[in-house]
Amino acid sequence: MSRIQNLDHQYIASTYGRFPVVIKEGKGSVAVDENGRMLIDMGSGIAVNVFGYADERWKKAVISQLDKVSHTSNLYYTEPDVKLAKMLCDKSGMKKVFYCNSGAEANECAIKAARKYAAEKKGNDYYTIITLEHSFHGRTLTTLAATGQDVFHQLFTPLTPGFVHAKINDLEDVKRLAEENKTAAIMIECIQGEGGVNVLDEAFVQGIRELCDEKDLIMIVDEVQTGNGRTGVHYSYQNYNILPDVVTTAKGLGGGLPIGVTMLSDKVENIFAPGDNGSTFGGNPVVCAGACSILERLDSKMLAGVKQRSEYIFARLKDARGVRSVSGMGLMIGIEPENGSAGDIANKCLEKGVLVLTAHGNKVRLLPALNIPMDLLEKAMDIITEAFE
Ligand SMILES: Cc1ncc(COP(=O)(O)O)c(C=O)c1O
Q: Give the confidence band of 303 by pLDDT, cuts at 50, 70, 90.
A: very high
Q: Give the confidence band of 26 by pLDDT, cuts at 50, 70, 90.
A: very high
The closest-lying atom of ligand 1 relative to the alpha carbon of residue 189 is: 1
**For range 148-162, the mean pLDDT:** 93
The rounded Å distance from CA 138 to ligand 1 centre is: 5
Each residue's pLDDT tens digit, 248-293: 999 999 999 999 999 999 999 999 999 999 999 999 999 999 999 9
Which residues are paired to 90 by β-bridges?
none
250 lines ligand 1 (CB under 6 A): yes
Strand order through the sheet with 323-329: 323-329, 332-337, 363-366, 357-359
- Is pLDDT at 154 greater than 90 in this prediction? no
pLDDT of residue 228: 98
pLDDT of residue 239: 98
The closest-lying atom of ligand 1 relative to the alpha carbon of residue 193 is: 16
The rounded Å distance from CA 252 to ligand 1 centre is: 11
- Is pLDDT at 233 greater than 90 in this prediction? yes
**For range 44-61, the mean pLDDT:** 98
pLDDT of residue 316: 98
Strand order through the sheet with 23-27: 23-27, 30-33, 38-41, 354-355
**For range 366-372, the mean pLDDT:** 98
The rounded Å distance from CA 7 to ligand 1 centre is: 27
The structural domains of the chain, with segments of one domain joined by +, span 3-54+299-388, 58-297
Average pLDDT in the chain:
97
The rounded Å distance from CA 319 to ligand 1 centre is: 32
What proportion of the chain, given as a percentage, has pLDDT over 90? 98
The rounded Å distance from CA 309 to ligand 1 centre is: 24
The closest-lying atom of ligand 1 relative to the alpha carbon of residue 104 is: 11
The rounded Å distance from CA 225 to ligand 1 centre is: 7
**For range 108-117, the mean pLDDT:** 98
Each residue's pLDDT tens digit, 174-212: 999 999 999 999 999 999 999 999 999 999 999 999 999
How far apart, in Å, are the Cα atoms of 289 and each of 62, 95, 98, 178, 254?
6, 20, 16, 41, 9
55 lines ligand 1 (CB under 6 A): no
Q: Give the confidence band of 337 by pLDDT, cuts at 50, 70, 90.
A: very high
The closest-lying atom of ligand 1 relative to the alpha carbon of residue 223 is: 1
The CATH class of the 58-297 domain is alpha beta
pLDDT of residue 30: 98
| Strand 323-329 relative to strand 363-366, pairing | unpaired
pLDDT of residue 11: 98
**For range 226-245, the mean pLDDT:** 98
148 lines ligand 1 (CB under 6 A): no
332 lines ligand 1 (CB under 6 A): no
The rounded Å distance from CA 142 to ligand 1 centre is: 13
Pocket test for ligand 1, best of 99, 152, 224 (most atoms within 8 A of CB): 224
The rounded Å distance from CA 42 to ligand 1 centre is: 18
Gap between the Cα atoms of 172 and 267, Å rounded: 26
| Strand 218-222 relative to strand 246-249, pairing | parallel
CATH of domain 3-54+299-388: 3.90.1150.10
102 lines ligand 1 (CB under 6 A): yes
Q: Give the confidence band of 1 by pLDDT, cuts at 50, 70, 90.
A: confident
Bond into 373 cis (ω within 30)? no
What proportion of the chain, given as a percentage, has pLDDT over 70? 100
